[in-house]
Chains A and B, each alone.
Chain A
Amino acid sequence: AQKITQTQPGMFVQEKEAVTLDCTYDTSDPSYGLFWYKQPSSGEMIFLIYQGSYDQQNATEGRYSLNFQKARKSANLVISASQLGDSAMYFCAMRDPTGNQFYFGTGTSLTVIP
């Protein structure tokens, strides 16, 4: 069963603007972790931000913030003040608390336009 859904195959954003990348997840367990990773063309997955299911506040890391809406089971990534170097694939992932597996979505390709 699909656990992570990313419905935007590709997104474009003007440099210095903010962009939201969508992610919904499916789990029946109350304890889980949600992650966002960036994968540039070089192929390496870069950790961006983490949100625990019990965290009361939305996670923030510099220009990255996670819009966590637990009831809707969504964990959208917001990138503020986009930079050309933000152009990459972005993957949402969830850690399954019953095991040690991470489930990844199919990714969103972000292109920042100068």
Chain B
Amino acid sequence: GAGVSQSPRYKVAKRGQDVALRCDPISGHVSLFWYQQALGQGPEFLTYFQNEAQLDKSGLPSDRFFAERPEGSVSTLKIQRTQQEDSAVYLCASSSTGNVETQYFGPGTRLLVL
């Protein structure tokens, strides 16, 4: 079946531009996570949704970062006024409810801010 998809796969932005990153989770998956992965590092948690509710946004690094999932399926991570330190791979993951809430990851969006 279809896995988690993300678009665009690559994004180059000029410093100060706004960007929007899209995540299509696996159909029926209740939970959705966003992570930021800097080069050579492990993913770092940004935010978590359960259906349309954003239950945890403690990992968002600044108020320039905003995420939404209005209908409980597709999610968008928006970064306003991008800075060079925002350059990273942004990973989206989804999981169903169950005893083992394993996350299934998308291929990521590689963002480069010049």
A43 contacts B108, C-beta separation under 8 Å: yes
Tell me which residues across on chain B come within 8 A of A105, comparing CB atoms.
42
Q: Which of B14-22, B60-68, B78-86, B98-106 participates in binding chain A?
A: B98-106
B107 CB within 8 Å of chain A: yes
A103 contacts B89, C-beta separation under 8 Å: no
Cα separation A46 to B93 with both chains bound (whole Å): 11
Q: How far is the CB of A47 from chain B (nearest CB, A)?
A: 5
Tell me which residues across on chain A come within 8 A of B50, comparing CB atoms.
100
Cα separation A107 to B35 with both chains bound (whole Å): 15
- Provide the A84-110 mask, 1 if CB < 8 A to any CB of B, else 0: 000000010101000111111111000
Using CB atoms and an 8 Å cutoff, list the residues of chain A in contact with chain B: 4, 33, 35, 37, 42-47, 50, 52, 91, 93, 95, 99-107
Q: How far is the CB of B113 from chain A (nearest CB, A)?
A: 18
* Contact count band on B: 20 to 34
Closest to B89 in A: A43
* Count, A-B residue pairs, CB within 8 A: 61
Using CB atoms and an 8 Å cutoff, list the residues of chain B in contact with chain A: 31, 33, 35, 40-45, 48, 50, 55-56, 58-59, 89, 91, 93, 100-108, 110
Q: Give the interface SS of chain A, mostly helix, strand, loop or mixed.
A: strand
Q: How far is the CB of A59 from chain B (nearest CB, A)?
A: 10
Tell me which residues across on chain A come within 8 A of B35, comparing CB atoms.
102, 104
Q: How far is the CB of A56 from chain B (nearest CB, A)?
A: 15
Which of the residues B56, B91, B106, B108 comes within 8 Å of A101, measured between beta carbons?
B56
A45 contacts B48, C-beta separation under 8 Å: no
Closest to A42 in B: B107
A44-B105 contact in complex given A99-B56, A100-B55, C-beta closer than 8 Å: yes
Tell me which residues across on chain A come within 8 A of B56, comparing CB atoms.
99-101
Cα separation A99 to B56 with both chains bound (whole Å): 8
Closest to A106 in B: B42
